[in-house]
Amino acid sequence: MSEDKFTFRYAPARISEADRIAEKYRGTDTAPDSDLERLKRLDRQAERPGTFAGIAVGLIGVLILGTGLSLVLSFHHLIAGLLVGVIGLVIAGIATPVSKAVTKRSRLRYRDEILALHEKIKNG
């Protein structure tokens, strides 16, 4: 009796996951970006500074608000705590306008290149 047997294991989930991971490393150096991928990357680059600025300003405002709350609750400094808390609320409240202003300025920087890529993609 021979011990030579044919065995077959089918594991589509493992293979597709391995392919997905390997594709991330294949596409980084060799393949040039398509125009659409480049357009998406430029759009993300234009949006990112505004997002970071809004988060930073909001976080600073919330930390100042927490300091005012701490002054009132822990140290019994009502007036100072209220003033610091209101200042923190105002700073946190301007996070969205700051984010929009920075994003608008960043979009102006990338506008010409994005519009040129759009026309190139649109016209073929």
Supply the DSSP string of the chain, one letter for each residue. -----------HHHHHHHHHHHHHHHTTTSSPPPHHHHHHHHHHHHHHHHHHHHHHHHHHHHHHHHHHHHHHHTT--HHHHHHHHHHHHHHHHTHHHHHHHHHHHHHHHHHHHHHHHHHHHHH-
- Cα R_g (the chain), whole angstroms: 27
Question: What is the structure's pLDDT at 9?
Answer: 66
Which tops the pLDDT comparison, 120 or 56? Answer: 56
Ranges 32-41, 80-89, 112-121, most confident: 80-89
Question: What is the structure's pLDDT at 26?
Answer: 78
Q: What is the pTM of this model?
A: 0.71
Question: What is the structure's pLDDT at 48?
Answer: 97
Tokens 């600025």 -> residue: 53
Q: What residues contact 72, with CB distance under 8 A and at least 6 apart?
A: 78, 81, 82, 85
4 confidence band (pLDDT: 50, 70, 90): confident
How many angstroms separate the CA atoms of 8 and 4, rounded?
13
Q: Is the pLDDT of residue 41 over 60?
A: yes
Question: What is the structure's pLDDT at 122?
Answer: 87
Q: Is the pLDDT of residue 97 over 70?
A: yes
Over range 74-85, report the average pLDDT. Answer: 96
Crossing angle of helices 35-73 and 78-93, in 10° steps, is 170
Average pLDDT value over all residues in the chain = 88
How many angstroms separate the CA atoms of 87 and 108, rounded?
31
